[in-house]
Amino acid sequence: MEQQEKTEQTLSAKESKAMKKEEKRKLKETKREQKAGKIGKKRKKAPVIIAAIIIILIMIRMVSCAFSGSAGVMVSTTNAFRGDIEENVSTSGKVVSEEKAVLFAPVGGRLNEVNVAAGDAVKAGDVLMTYDMERMEERLQEATLQQTKSSASYNSTMTENSKSQAKLNEANTNLAVLDQQLTDYRAYLKELQDKLAKSQRETQRQLSEESYELSRKSADLSKELQNSATSADRAKEINKELQDISASQARNSYVQSIAGSSDYVVNMQNEIASVQEHIEECETYKAKMQAQKDAGEGSILNGYQSQGYAADRDLAQLTYKEAEEQYYSAKKGIVADFDGIVTECTGVSGASVAEGTQLITLESSQNVKVSFDASKSDVAKLAIGQKVDITISGNKYEGEISKINRMATLNASNTPMVGVEVHLTNPDDKIILGLDAKLTVHTNSAQDTLLIPVEAINADKNGDFLYVIENGMVVKRAITCGISSDEYAEVLEGITGEDQIIVNSLTGVSLEEGMAVTAVPMEQ
């Protein structure tokens, strides 16, 4: 019995040593793969000879267990450890352009030269097609002459119309002034005439009253003189008064005779004559302005006529501008707006094309993207802005997710897929549109987090779980996983670094909770 235990211990030590050597070899192999850029791929299976050694060791272990009477399935175990992890999505897509321009014929005409064909690479500013310019020059010359003629006709008509309008405005202004002047002159004339008449009547009244008073007084004195009772002295006085009255009557008669030719009357009559002369001049000038107004109104264009002349001029101007634009556009030719690849060319040298005819399809070689379809599980990990490693024809590029479609489409297998676009941030002249590209999307990462091998994780209808060893027995432990790579998964809840986690059964026996097991630790 003692010998049997020693044999078992020896076999167990050898087995453990062999297993440790195998794990060390696998770890070194993994590190070599990571250095070679194979991070994220599953480790290769051990060579057949190593697998055979493990099987022999397992058999030896089973024999030793049988001799010792112990029971338990041999399982490989590990412990969770803290480390960094990055979650990636690896896929493939197609290189396409982000910028596409369909070039149309800017004008109708005959093509002269076609300098490109489908598949050609072009630079911004390259002339892709040219026009036959002879007909373009004739069209521009015709439009130029018509525009000059129409403009000259319009300017001449508008000049004459402006003159007529100016004369009409002058007549209207002067007629208004003349009407006011005539009104003022006539009012002033009446005022002068009334004033003169009033003065003459007042003068005549005063002279008449004076003459009457003198006559009455002379009669009274003569009657008194004839009275016999009048004394000599009084008679003498009366005679003296009669002489004075007679002198006053003579003066009154003289004043009456010259009243119509006094300085005042003459001045008033002269002023009246002057005003009447102004009235006659105004009436004569008014007649002239009235005739000018009538002539102006008959020659001035109405609004519709002016619009017609302006429309003719503008139409000729538009025709000229269009012909000029077409000429210089044709002279410029069909030009590439950006660096790119000609993916379609329908223009033929010598062919006549109508304006708007599609001639060339140009796709940018600088603004480039890779399009791919993502499954439901992958699209849940993707987000706008995530960095992407891209390989096209063996060349490495960088990019980032720029678009994720909001609608899924069915692929050939009737599986819903979501279109995703990755913008290349460092394209070069080696990129060929339409080629396949390999993509590694860096979806997520975590630092200093709890990690376990992905092969240790099981799942059922309740979610993810692990098998752990407690007191030599299998125990089922529910866990909550975070992100994962091809090798490791992040565990958020359910285990600690002290738990002994079963990775797999070394004998192929299905594990069940409560089963007795023997742990074979894996090297980390």
- CA 474, CA 341: separation in Å to the nearest integer? 64
DSSP-assigned letter for residue 412: T
How many whole angstroms separate alpha carbon 501 and alpha carbon 503? 6
For residues 308 and 310, give the distance between their C-alpha atoms in angstroms, rounded to a whole number: 5
Report the distance separating Cα 33 and Cα 44, nearest Å: 10
**How wide is the angle at C-alpha 297 spanned by C-alphas 296 and 303, nearest 5°?**
115
Domains 100-125+337-364 and 368-521 agree in fold = no
pLDDT at 3: 38
pLDDT for 457 equals 95
* pTM of this structure: 0.51
Instruction: List the chain domain ranges.
Output: 100-125+337-364, 136-304, 368-521
Question: 67: which strand partners?
Answer: none
> What does each C-alpha distance from 297 to 171, 286, 287, 306, 310 come to in angstroms?
10, 16, 15, 15, 20
Angstrom distance (rounded) from CA 461 to CA 445: 27
pLDDT on residue 71: 55
* Inter-CA distances, 114 with 130, 193, 252, 335, 338, Å: 7, 100, 124, 11, 18
Say if domain 368-521 classifies as CATH 2.40.30.170: yes
pLDDT at 429: 87
Q: What are the C-alpha distances in Å from 344 to residues 101, 119, 359, 361, 490? A: 11, 8, 8, 5, 50
**What is the predicted pLDDT for the residue at 2?**
40
524 residues of the chain, pLDDT tens digit each: 343 343 344 334 444 444 444 554 444 444 444 433 333 333 333 344 444 545 555 555 554 444 444 458 999 999 999 999 999 999 999 999 999 999 999 999 999 999 999 999 999 999 999 999 988 898 899 999 999 999 999 899 889 888 888 988 999 999 999 999 999 999 999 999 999 889 888 888 888 998 899 899 988 888 888 887 778 888 888 889 889 988 888 888 888 887 777 788 889 889 999 999 999 999 999 999 999 989 888 888 888 888 888 899 999 999 999 899 999 999 999 999 999 999 999 999 999 999 999 999 999 988 999 999 999 989 999 999 999 999 999 999 999 999 999 999 999 999 999 999 999 999 998 999 999 999 999 999 999 999 999 999 999 999 999 999 999 999 999 999 999 988 999 999 999 999 999 999 998 889 999 999 999 998 76
Residues in the chain: 524
Q: What is the dihedral of CA 259, 265, 267, 269, to 10 degrees?
A: -130
Q: Token pair 């590190």 is at which residue? A: 31
CA distances from 251 to 246, 256, 258 (A): 9, 9, 11
Phi, psi at residue 161, to the nearest 5°?
-65, -35
Helices (H), 300-425: 303-332, 376-379
3-class SS of residue 402: strand
* Strand duo 73-78 + 517-521: pairing: parallel
Q: Beta strand pairing status for 352-353 and 127-131? A: unpaired
Pick the CATH number of 100-125+337-364 from 3.40.50.970, 2.40.50.100, 3.90.650.10, 3.40.50.300: 2.40.50.100
Coil, strand, or helix at residue 44?
A: coil
Task: Using the structure block, give the residue that is written with the tokens 């006094």.
Answer: 262
CA–CA separation, 502 vs 75, rounded Å? 6
Q: 511 Cβ partners below 8 Å, 6+ apart?
A: 73, 75, 467, 474, 502, 505, 517
Question: How many CB atoms are closer than 10 A to CB 247?
Answer: 11
Q: Which of 216, 208, 219, 197 is nearest to 255 (CA)?
A: 208
- DSSP summary character for residue 516: B
Euclidean distance between CA atoms 20 and 322, whole angstroms = 87
Q: In terms of C-beta distances under 8 Å and separation of at least 24 residues, what long-range contacts does 23-29 make, across chains too?
A: 23/522, 23/523, 24/523, 25/50, 27/523
What the block records as the tokens of 448 is 């200093």
